[in-house]
Structures are given as structure tokens and as C-alpha cells.
Chain A
């Protein structure tokens, strides 16, 4: 009788360990996929803003008016924020705060440049979606 109990306990334990290991590795895979996807989304969004900012910096390079210099200031601020963002640290505690600040700065820039950001969320895959 006691042997049966011990046997049961042993198999229980083994089963648990096997399950735990399998679950952990599956979890790691899923987590990695999720991270890649999510990271890619953020990366593509920030990359978009950066490209936009660089393009406009080139266009406004020969700025003359005071209004243009205001635009340049906001532009440079946006570029600065993007470059300072720690891309390799997903545990950065102000990640979402900084992302929101970048988004806000981008919207402000668009307002100053009188450009409508045309980034629509599309399910087909073409076009920008983030």
C-alpha cells in the first residue's frame, strides 16, 4: 500500500517537472514571438517618425523666418527624443511614458507643418499600421 503511494508521488513529481519544463520552453517561444511582434510595431512607428523628421529637416534646412525656426526647434526636439530612446532595454521603466511623449511631439510637429499624418490602420498589410 505504501509503495503504491510512493510510486504515485514519484510519477506525480516527474510529470510535474516535465510539464513545467515543457511549459517554460513553450512560454519562452511565445514570449519571444510576442516581443518580436510588439517590438517591431514600436520600431516601425518610431522609424516612421524619424524618417519623417529627417525628411523635413532637409526641406526646412534653409529656413528663414522665425516661424520656420520654431518648426526646426520642435523637429530637433523630436529627433533628439527618438535618438535618446533606449531601444535595447525593454525593461526601461519610462518606456511607455517616453513613447507617448514622442507621439505627442510628432503630432505637434505635424500641426506646425500643417501636414496630416496619414497613417491608417490597415488589415491588408500594405501601408503603415501601428
Chain B
């Protein structure tokens, strides 16, 4: 039986501007959105509807590009085109800006918290990646400025269990960094993509890294430690990363985001052709040369580029009858009228989730797509 996507709610999140990013907090109770109106909004459920619990508008002078919750859920980092990153502390329903991290020369493109909660990474169009450390007194200190990339850095992501940082850039490479004697160094460069690498995702075990690119492929890289059985050469005591799989021919346009489901190990991509695709690893495929098959393709998932969404454990509880769901929640452009939420019982599949911004999407539970979905005609937003 196939499951469907059900629209829960439409929210006019950032009136008169784009909504660039969405992030669920670790508990799954709050949704943070950020947009071109320079504000960050916090949304929470109240009964059947979503209400705006907080508007954080004093932090930035330009578009807020990304928000990220700390692993403990008490802090929110917002990265902006004004070259700063604000750290907001949650105090009941209110958020207070505890500090502003400055230093980048231009637009900050991404921010990410390490799983330990002590480290934060930001990256920018100024080609650098900054690593910040926070202590118990909420004091942030820059521990390293990494100038390894030769172009705009698009995305940073931390390894799920090691203190390893990965960054993706317009220079077609992925770089990995780790701490070495009090300083951070670039310990690996993953080359292979033929164009901008837009996003990265580690698999739940952290042994593999997926990267998606403007060259319309997804590459899976695997970590090989020194002395590995497969005989992959490593230099000294450094692990080396090898591309073990390339998913090509599935996407017709730039792939803007990739996500690796933490529960099921499924891979999902968001593409500039407005579709979402889900890949699963073929059971029994050689771990050194895994093969992935396309198991779901939701075409025209968005009439315009989608921003992103984090599925939330608590939301999926509403769909208790169907254990495997993909949730896409997004914010709408100003032209879209506010509509009331679709009643939960309706099993219609709805696909119209128009947004602005790069298509991006995160998967928390497995998706099984339904049959054809009806949609209004595609209108591509210039972006």
C-alpha cells in the first residue's frame, strides 16, 4: 500500500518576502523559519493550527539564510546575508539574542551545531569556514578560520559522532576538517563533482557521506581507516574517503539538497525540477560498491522551489495509522492566500507546496509515494 503526502497546514510565514529555511527543534515541538524579511519566526501547534509564537526581528540587517537548533534545543543560531550569525537563547516562549558572531566578510550561507553542542560552524561566500566554541557561560570564541576552499562555501555539516566537519563549495569540492593540536585543519578533499556541491548529509552511522551537486548527481563517499581490509590507501594515520557510488541520470536539474534518514537509512533528494526523489540501498549490495535504487519519485512536489523542512517526530504521531511518512511543511509566498488546515482524516494527496528559495528537504521517516498527483501548472520562480 502506498502512502501519500498530506498537507497539514499552510502558513504565510514571511509576508512580502521569501522563506529561506525551516528547522524543527530536536523535540519536534517548534518550527523555526527564517526569511528575506530579516526575521526569524517560531511556530508552534495550538490545537489544530499553527501559530506564530515568536518573531525575532531585531537580529539581522539582511535576509536570514539559515537557522539551526542546538542539540539541546535551548539555542537557535541564525545565519544571515549581513555576514553575522545570531545566537538566540530560549526562555520559555521568548527568545533573546545572547550574542552575535561577526567576522565573515560577506553573506553567511550556513550554520551547524556539532552533536556535542560545544561547537558551531559557519560558512560564507568569503570562501571561509569558521569554527566557534561555546563554553558554559555562553561565551563564544572563534577557534579556527579555515580558508581551504577557493570559492563560495555553500553548506557545512557535522559528523554525527566524531568531531569532524564537512563543507561543500562552489569550487566543486567537499572538504573535511578536524582538530589537530589545538587548530583545525583540512584533513581531506573529496573531488569528483563537476560543478557546485550544494549540500551534504552523513548517514546515520557516520561512515558515509552523501553530496549533491549542480552536476545533477549524488555521490556517496565512504570512509576508509588506515589498515582497512579493502586495501584503500591512506596517508599516515588519516582516514581517506573514496567515492563508492554515483547516482546519475535520475535528476534533470541541479540537486539542491540531500538528506539521509536517520531511522531507515533512506536517501532523499530535492531537485531544481521541483521533484523529490527517494533512494534506497539495494539489500545485499556490496558495502564497498553500494547500489541505490529509486524507490519514490514525487514529481512536481512543488510548483516553485521549496525551502526545507525537518520532519518532526511529534507531527508524525498524528498519522499514527501509517507508520512511514514523509512530511513536508513549508512556508508560502505572499501571493498564496492563507487556507485552513486540511482535516487529518482526509487522505487526499496534496502536492502544492509552493515556496521560494532553493529546493531543500529533510527526511525523518521513510516516504512511500502515491500515484499521480494533481497540481496547478508549474510556474518556475526566477532564482
Which residue from A73, A100, A107 sits with its C-beta under 8 Å from B148? A100
Could you say which residues of chain A place their CB within 8 Å of the CB of B187? Answer: none
Interface string of B156-197 (1 = CB under 8 A from A): 000000000000000000000000001100000000000000
Could you say which residues of chain A place their CB within 8 Å of the CB of B144? Answer: 104, 108
B101 to chain A, nearest CB (A): 8
Interface residue? A10 (CB, 8 A): no
Interface residue? A110 (CB, 8 A): yes
Interface residue? B103 (CB, 8 A): yes
Question: How many angstroms between the C-alpha atoms of A73 and B141 in the bound complex?
Answer: 14
Q: How many A-B residue pairs have CB under 8 A?
A: 31
Query: Contacts A70-B141, A112-B141: A104 and B146 contacting too (C-beta < 8 A)?
Result: yes
Could you say which residues of chain B place their CB within 8 Å of the CB of A110? Answer: 103
A108 touching B148 by the CB < 8 A rule? no
B21 to chain A, nearest CB (A): 25
Could you say which residues of chain B place their CB within 8 Å of the CB of A57? Answer: none
| Total contacting residues, chain B, CB less than 8 A | 13
A104 touching B143 by the CB < 8 A rule? no
A111 touching B103 by the CB < 8 A rule? yes
CB-contacts of B269-327 with A (<8 A): none
Which residue from A104, A112, A116 sits with its C-beta under 8 Å from B147? A104
Could you say which residues of chain A place their CB within 8 Å of the CB of B143? Answer: 108
| Total contacting residues, chain A, CB less than 8 A | 14
Question: How many angstroms between the C-alpha atoms of A111 and B102 in the bound complex?
Answer: 8
B147 touching A101 by the CB < 8 A rule? yes
Which residue from B102, B128, B141, B182 sits with its C-beta under 8 Å from A104? B128
Could you say which residues of chain A place their CB within 8 Å of the CB of B128? Answer: 104, 107
Question: How many angstroms between the C-alpha atoms of A107 and B145 in the bound complex?
Answer: 7
Interface residue? B244 (CB, 8 A): no
Interface residue? B142 (CB, 8 A): yes
Most buried by B among A100, A105, A108: A108
CB-contacts of B224-276 with A (<8 A): none
Interface residue? A72 (CB, 8 A): no
Most buried by A among B144, B147, B183: B147
Query: Would you call the interface of chain A mostly helix, strand, loop, or mixed?
Result: helix
B166 to chain A, nearest CB (A): 18
Question: How many angstroms between the C-alpha atoms of A112 and B101 in the bound complex?
Answer: 11
Could you say which residues of chain A place their CB within 8 Å of the CB of B182? Answer: 73
A34 to chain B, nearest CB (A): 21
Could you say which residues of chain A place their CB within 8 Å of the CB of B183? Answer: 77
Could you say which residues of chain B place their CB within 8 Å of the CB of A77? Answer: 183
B142 touching A100 by the CB < 8 A rule? no
Question: How many angstroms between the C-alpha atoms of A70 and B143 in the bound complex?
Answer: 10
Question: How many angstroms between the C-alpha atoms of A101 and B182 in the bound complex?
Answer: 14
B108 to chain A, nearest CB (A): 14
A107 touching B141 by the CB < 8 A rule? no
Question: How many angstroms between the C-alpha atoms of A116 and B146 in the bound complex?
Answer: 18
Could you say which residues of chain A place their CB within 8 Å of the CB of B102? Answer: 111, 116
Question: How many angstroms between the C-alpha atoms of A111 and B142 in the bound complex?
Answer: 7
Q: Which residue of B is nearest A101, CB measured?
A: B147
CB-contacts of A33-61 with B (<8 A): none
Most buried by A among B102, B143, B145: B145
Interface string of B45-77 (1 = CB under 8 A from A): 000000000000000000000000000000000
Could you say which residues of chain A place their CB within 8 Å of the CB of B141? Answer: 70, 111-112
Interface string of B124-164 (1 = CB under 8 A from A): 00001000000000000111111110000000000000000
B147 touching A108 by the CB < 8 A rule? no
Question: How many angstroms between the C-alpha atoms of A102 and B128 in the bound complex?
Answer: 13
Interface string of A106-118 (1 = CB under 8 A from B): 0110111000100
Could you say which residues of chain B place their CB within 8 Å of the CB of A111? Answer: 102-103, 141-142, 145
Interface string of A75-114 (1 = CB under 8 A from B): 0010000000000000000000000110111011011100
- Interface pairs (21), CB distance under 8 Å: A70-B141, A77-B183, A100-B147, A104-B128, A104-B144, A104-B145, A104-B146, A105-B145, A107-B103, A107-B128, A107-B142, A107-B145, A108-B144, A108-B145, A110-B103, A111-B102, A111-B141, A111-B142, A111-B145, A112-B142, A116-B102
A-B CB proximity, top 3 nearest: A104-B145, A100-B147, A111-B142
For the complex with contacts A73-B182, A107-B145, 19 further pairs of A-B residues with Cβ separation under 8 Å are A70-B141, A101-B147, A103-B147, A104-B128, A104-B146, A104-B147, A107-B103, A107-B142, A108-B142, A108-B143, A108-B145, A111-B102, A111-B103, A111-B141, A111-B142, A111-B145, A112-B141, A112-B142, A116-B102
